[in-house]
Amino acid sequence: MKKAILAVLFLAGFAGAPVCAENGKYEVGLLPGLSIPVGGDYWGNSTTGVKSSFALAAYGDYRLNDMFAVGLDIGYDFGHKAQNAVDNERIKILQITPHGKIMKDMDMFGKKGKVYGVLGLGVYNLKYKDDGEDSTDYDDADGKTSITRFGFNLGGGADVEIAQNILLGLEVRWHHVFDAMDNGSIDNKYAVNNITPALKIAYTF
């Protein structure tokens, strides 16, 4: 796992390094949104699963040319609570994922804008807290623990320049975390899946 994390950090550094500064353009921004659990017998189940959580991500991009950009996301889900009111389980998720984007500039309502697709790959840390009598398999004696797993995200968005160098837009991503949960059997681990629509506020320079 140490080697895997070092590899991700190496990729993050590569993603942030300018390849050709005179042709590049930097973009930094925030993505406040809602992380919505989907799929699975437990995670996305409306009765026995978890609820949606407020999510916030910060990102930085370096634009390689008119079509491609690379960058890094750091995101956080503030707490998915259990649907079962008797159980006080909460799961917080920290995401560190280098990404690549493919984009197309276009005119939007007479202003500069763009649409884009994004693919990210990296690590997700899930922190569990359970105050109920029934604890998860990941809980320690204090009812809290954390695990780190590989995952990816895939999505797209659009933005428009509302003022000089200021962008406003919308983005949606699907986040998939491998082997993040289990049902008590080592042979039956399953993934965590969230759909996260978000508002995009960014600055370019």
* pLDDT of 14: 44
pLDDT, the chain, mean: 84
> The domain that contains 110 carries what CATH number?
2.40.160.20
Summarised one tens digit per residue, pLDDT across range 47-91 is 878 999 999 999 999 999 999 999 999 999 999 998 876 667 889
pLDDT above 90 covers what percent of the chain?
Answer: 62
The yes-or-no verdict on residue 98 having pLDDT over 50 is: yes
* pLDDT of 63: 97
4-18, 130-144, 170-184: which range is least confident on average?
4-18
The yes-or-no verdict on residue 159 having pLDDT over 80 is: yes
Summarised one tens digit per residue, pLDDT across range 116-129 is 999 999 999 999 88
Rounded Cα–Cα distance for residues 190 and 147 (Å):
14
- The residue range of the domain holding 88 is 2-204
